[in-house]
Amino acid sequence: MSVPYNLEPTARLQGLHMVGTVVRRFLISYPVDPKVLLQHLPPGAECATHAGKAWVSACFVRMDDMRPNLLPRFAGMGFHYLIHRTRARLPFPDGKLREAVLVLQPNINRWLLSTFGSRLTGVRFHTHPIQFTESDQSWRIQMHAGSESLYDVTISKSSCSDVIPNESQFATTTEADQFLLGVSFGAQWVPGESRLKLLPETHDPWQTQVCTCTTHRNRFLESLGVDTVEADHVITMSHIPHYFGITPIQSTLAVSPET
């Protein structure tokens, strides 16, 4: 079944798709110079910016009950994923640029789901241990490759509220939420390939809280040459049904990757 390109972020998907419950989500967002992302943009795409910056977010999700929508909830699986992503204007199959999430580096903690997801959707996940721990004072997210720390952040519980921190580059929580989460498609492009893969992703209405954090390591940003890795803020939500497309929409890039 075809998916409209003007799909609302809170729309229910039709036909066969995946469904799961986001038990906890943290969107940890870092402002960067748009130039550092040029090598990650498919031909014809543009960075979406706010306050003159591109925004690279580490999106951590603890997911439960992920399954095809035709199956009962008990048949679902739980897992963690951590995706480095940005908002960009991407070429859709009709030739128009639309804003969507561009996946920069997808990581998941279950090999089976990594393999299944890659073959079914074309999204190429990296499999790494991803730990999520909680204390009375904080949440901590850690991802490793062997002995190397790839991502490590501590989020303060006492900092969480409905009001964005004064030092944020966003004026309000709503402004940050709409810019970072107000899109309905995710996409992945592998440099050198002539197609962009787009997948619809929507969810039930959510209530956002904003927190502060301390980033101990962000290897992905370091790989871009970004020295300062302090986040602007953290958006969090919990217990939200999510809906994911299965079959990718292929967009042929108008400009050859070699040019």
Q: What is the mean pLDDT of residues 158-187?
A: 97
Q: What is the mean pLDDT of residues 209-237?
A: 95
Is the separation of the CB atoms in 46 and 88 below 8 Å? yes
Question: Which of the four pLDDT bands, split at 50, 70 and 90, describes residue 259?
Answer: very low
> What CATH number does residue 238 fall under?
2.40.400.10
146 to 21, 109, 127, 130, 196: CA distances (angstroms): 29, 13, 11, 12, 31
Q: Is residue 83 part of a domain?
A: yes
pLDDT at 257: 44
Q: Is residue 144 part of a domain?
A: no
247 exposure class (CB count in 10 Å sphere: 0-12, 13-18, 19+): middle
Q: Is residue 118 part of a domain?
A: yes
Is the separation of the CB atoms in 36 and 125 below 8 Å? no
Q: Is residue 4 part of a domain?
A: no
**1 pLDDT above the threshold of 60:** no
What are the residues facing 132 on neighbouring strands? Answer: 141
Q: Is residue 136 part of a domain?
A: no
Question: Which of the four pLDDT bands, split at 50, 70 and 90, describes residue 178?
Answer: very high
Q: What is the mean pLDDT of residues 180-194?
A: 94
**Residues 116-166 pLDDT 10s:** 666 666 677 889 999 999 999 999 999 999 999 999 999 999 999 999 999
59 Cβ contact list (under 8 Å, min separation 6): 25, 26, 27, 28, 81, 82, 83, 84, 85
Distance CA 249, CA 187 (A): 9
Q: Is residue 94 part of a domain?
A: yes
Distance CA 31, CA 80 (A): 24
As a whole number, the mean pLDDT across the chain is 93
Q: What is the mean pLDDT of residues 67-96?
A: 95
Q: Is residue 246 part of a domain?
A: yes
Q: Which residue range(s) make up the domain with 26?
A: 18-127+160-213+220-252
pLDDT at 124: 76
CA torsion sign for 112, 115, 120, 122 is: positive
Instruction: Select from 135, 115, 138, 133 the least CA-distant residue to 125.
Output: 115
H/E stretch holding 114: helix 111-121
Distance CA 29, CA 217 (A): 14
Domain count, the chain: 1
Whole-prediction pTM value?
A: 0.94
Q: Is residue 259 part of a domain?
A: no
Question: Which of the four pLDDT bands, split at 50, 70 and 90, describes residue 2?
Answer: confident
**7 pLDDT above the threshold of 70:** yes
- Token look-up 């309905």 returns 184
Q: What is the mean pLDDT of residues 73-81?
A: 93
